[in-house]
Structure 1
Amino acid sequence: MRRVRYYEYGGPEVLTVEDADQPVPQAGQVLLRVEAIGVNFADTRFRRGPGSGSIFQRPLPGRPTGDVVGTVARVGPGVDPRLAGRRVAALAEDAYADYVVAEASWLAAVPDHLDSGDASMLAMSAPVALRILRAAQLNPGDTVLIHAAAGGIGHLAVQLARFLGAGTVIGTARSAHKLDFVHSVGADVAIDYAQPDWPDQVRAAAPGGVDVVLDAVGGPVLQSSLDLLAPFGRAVVYGAATGELEQIPVAKLFALRSVVGFNLTAWRRTAPDLARQEMDEITGLFAAGHLSTTVHADLPLTRAATAHELIEARSHTGRILLSP
Structure 2
Amino acid sequence: MRAVQFDRYGAPDVLHVAERPVPEPGPGQVRIAVEAVSVGHAQTQMRREVFPAPMWKPVFPVVLGGDVVGRISAVGPEVTGLSPGDRVGAFTLYGAYAEQVVVDAATVVAVPEELDAAEAAVLPGTGLIALGVLRAGQLAKGETVLVHAAAGGVGHIAVQLARAAGAGQVIGTAGESGKREFARAVGADAVVDHRSPTWAEEVRELTGGRGPDLILDGVGAEVLQQGVRLLAPGGRLVFYGSSGGELEIPRVSVMDLIGIKYVTGFALSAWRLGRPQEYEAGVAELTRLLADGQVKSAVHARLPLERAAEAHTLLEARAQLGRVVLIP
Alignment TM class, shorter chain as reference: over 0.9
Worse-matched range after superposition: 60-69 or 173-182: 60-69
Corresponding residue number in structure 2 for 1:245? 248
Question: Quick one: which amino acid aligns to residue 300 of structure 1?
Answer: P
CA contact (8 A) 2:173 2:191 kept: yes
Cα offset, 1:78, TM superposition: 1.2
Alignment partner of 1:269 is 2:270 = no
> How is 1:83-122 mapped onto 2 (pairs within 5 angstroms)?
83-92=83-92, 93-122=94-123
Amino acid in the other structure paired with 1:183: R
Shift, 1:107, TM fit: 1.3
Partners of 2:252 and 2:53 lie apart in 1 by 17
In structure 1, runs of 5+ residues without a counterpart are none
Determine if contact 1:117/1:294 at 8 Å carries over to the other structure: no
Q: 1:75-154 maps to which residues of 2 (within 5 A)?
A: 75-80=75-80, 82-92=82-92, 93-154=94-155
Aligned length: 322
TM-score if structure 1 supplies the norm length? 0.96
Matched, 1:8 2:11: no
User: Over residues 244-301 of structure 1, what are the superposed CA-to-partner deviations in whole Å (9 max), with x where a residue is unaligned?
Assistant: 3213332211121111111111121212232122112211111111111111000001
**Partner of 1:217 in structure 2?**
219
What is residue 309 of structure 1 aligned with on the other side? 313
Letter in 2 for 1:153: V
Q: Which residue of 2 aligns with 1:232?
A: 234
1:69 corresponds to 2:69? yes
1:121 is paired with a residue whose SS is: coil
Deviation for aligned residue 1:54: 4.5
- Say if 2:120 and 2:297, in contact at 8 Å, map to a contact too: no
Conservation of the 8 A alpha-carbon contact between 1:117 and 1:319: no
Amino acid at match of 2:146: L
Q: State the AA in 2 paired with 1:188.
A: D
Instruction: Write the distance in 2 (CA, Å) between the matches of 1:81 and 1:157.
Output: 31
Q: In the aligned structure 2, how far is the partner of 1:183 from the partner of 1:81?
A: 41
* Contact 1:54–1:243 under 8 Å retained in 2: no
Instruction: Give structure 2 stretches of 5+ with no counterpart.
Output: none
Residue 22, structure 1, aligned to residue 22, structure 2: yes
Report the aligned-residue RMSD.
1.4
**Pairwise CA distance, 1:131:** 1.3
Whole-Å Cα distance in 2 between the matches of residues 30 and 59 of structure 1? 21
**TM-fit CA distance, 1:187:** 0.1
Partner amino acid, structure 2, of 1:65: G
Q: Is the 1:8–1:60 contact (alpha carbons within 8 Å) kept by the matching residues of 2? A: no
**Aligned pairs for 1:202-213 within 5 A:** 202-206=203-207, 207-213=209-215
What is the match of residue 39 of structure 1?
39
Q: Can you list the C-alpha shifts for 1:6-46, whole angstroms capped at 9, x where unaligned?
A: 11110001112110110000111111111111111111011
C-alpha contact (below 8 Å) 1:128/1:153 kept by paired residues: yes
Deviation of the 1:304 alpha carbon:
0.6
Q: Is the 8 A contact 2:70 2:88 kept in 1?
A: yes
1:165 CA drift (Å): 0.3
User: Mapping of 1:153-168 within 5 angstroms?
Assistant: 153-168=154-169
TM-score relative to the length of structure 2: 0.95
Instruction: Report the Cα offset of residue 108 of structure 1.
Output: 1.5
Secondary structure at 1:17 match in 2: strand
Instruction: Please give the per-residue CA displacement for 1:105-154, whole angstroms capped at 9, x wherever unaligned.
Output: 22111111111232101111111111111111111110100001111111
**Distance (Å, rounded) in 1 between the aligned partners of 2:71 and 2:198:** 48
Identical columns (%)? 45
